Amino acid sequence: MKRTLTPIGVLCYLLLAINVASAELPRVAVLDLKPEKISTNKAIALSKHLRKALRKAGKVDVIEREEMGKILAKHKDQLKGCLEEECVIKVCKILNVEDVIASSILKINSKKYVLYIKFLSVKDNMVFNRALRAEVTKEELPDRIQDYASILSNAIFVSAGKVVKIDKDDIYIKFKNGNTLSTGVFLRTVRQSEPIKSLKSNEILGHKKEDIGEIEIIEIIEDTLAIAKKQIRCKEIQLDDKVMLKESSRIFKDVNKLWKVEVKPKLLKKYYVEPKYPEIAKRSKIEGQIMLKLLLGTKGQVIFVEVLNSLHPLCDAAAIKAVSQWRFSPAKEDDKPVKVWLVQPIRFELDK
């Protein structure tokens, strides 16, 4: 006997399908923008706009502000007295999410604002620290937030996998379910390194990540299994190294590599900002080098910053904040300004 669904059955089926689809999306928390020389209500309204734009992009599941507030209120003792970047890592764990967006909005004058969006991820217990920055007019703010929502949703929705076998030059990659792989795709490889500890409590917050380099898919074995090969400048690959689709290449289009451009960008001294060494990092005797990846716009402005090799979340954040304010002479190709990627080391050293 052939069965047909009743209207109620159809509705239940659709609701189930929607719930299953949303459950598969990465969950992200968007904290209210920190207001600087701007009203709290304005910052909250812009935060609401960002959450709405992220949901509309359809690639992430954004926690409701009220739900987030209730959960964090129950765990306020865990967050009491913690330092800013460390707090964000703890928020990830408390809310059971991999990505937290913690931003600020600074009013420069009646017509100009600085929008600074940080997004910190804890994936596979490794900490990823990135930021977007733009100087915009009051009229441009809604559109820029819309643009950044698209960038953020693509950066968060990253297909991930790991190295499961190495056979001479062949690197076998196993991906999570639901990934669409194809030959010729470049993957970014990262490795978990030493633990990141809270500078106040010595609690382990996660682990630093080491950027290993790029590999390229050369053969698809099945839906979630592929063979790849190392690219130039890639370090030695190890079992259990993590791989992910290069989000930067999917988010930002028409960007040149530094070695390909005719005229290289140069840092303009007028716009140099010294990274501020966090006092607690000094007292904890944390020193070393951070490697940052910068996207420079056609006017030499820093659009996007990502930490490739970390030192500590507090030092990483200080480096990102300073570098995002730098400006360079534009890179040029055929005498025309172009966008370009640049790797920038930042060193924190204690006085001898």
Tokens of 135: 């100087």
Q: What are phi and psi of 261, to 5 degrees?
A: -80, 150
Q: Which CATH superfamily is domain 25-156 in?
A: TolB, N-terminal domain (3.40.50.10070)
Q: Which residue would you say has higher pLDDT here, 339 or 253?
A: 339
Residue 83: CB atoms within 10 A of its CB come to: 17
Q: What is the pLDDT of residues 11-37, one digit of tens each?
A: 444 444 444 344 478 899 999 999 999
pLDDT at 106 over 70: yes
Confidence bin at 6 (pLDDT 50/70/90): low
What is the CATH topology of the domain spanning 160-251?
Thrombin, subunit H (2.40.10)
CB 247 within 8 A of CB 155: yes
Angle of the 65-74 helix axis to the 84-95 helix axis, nearest 10: 100
Residue 247: CB atoms within 10 A of its CB come to: 18
Q: What is the pLDDT of residues 228-283, one digit of tens each?
A: 999 988 999 999 999 987 655 556 777 887 888 899 999 999 999 999 999 999 99
d(CA 99, CA 95): 10
Reported as type and span, the H/E element at residue 305 is: strand 302-309
d(CA 28, CA 21): 15
By mean pLDDT, which of 5-14, 188-197, 210-219, 297-306 is the weakest? 5-14
Beta bridge partners, 119, equal 101, 130
For tokens 């928020």, what's the residue? Answer: 91
Q: What is the arithmetic mean of pLDDT over 95-119?
A: 93
What is the reported pLDDT for 259? 81
d(CA 138, CA 119): 23
d(CA 324, CA 312): 18
What is the reported pLDDT for 8? 52
For tokens 């063979």, what's the residue? Answer: 227
d(CA 285, CA 31): 31
CB 155 within 8 A of CB 119: yes
> How does the average pLDDT of the chain come out, rounded?
87
Residue 24: CB atoms within 10 A of its CB come to: 10
What is the residue extent of each domain of the chain?
25-156, 160-251, 255-348
What is the CATH topology of the domain spanning 255-348?
TolA/TonB C-terminal domain (3.30.2420)
pLDDT at 4 over 90: no
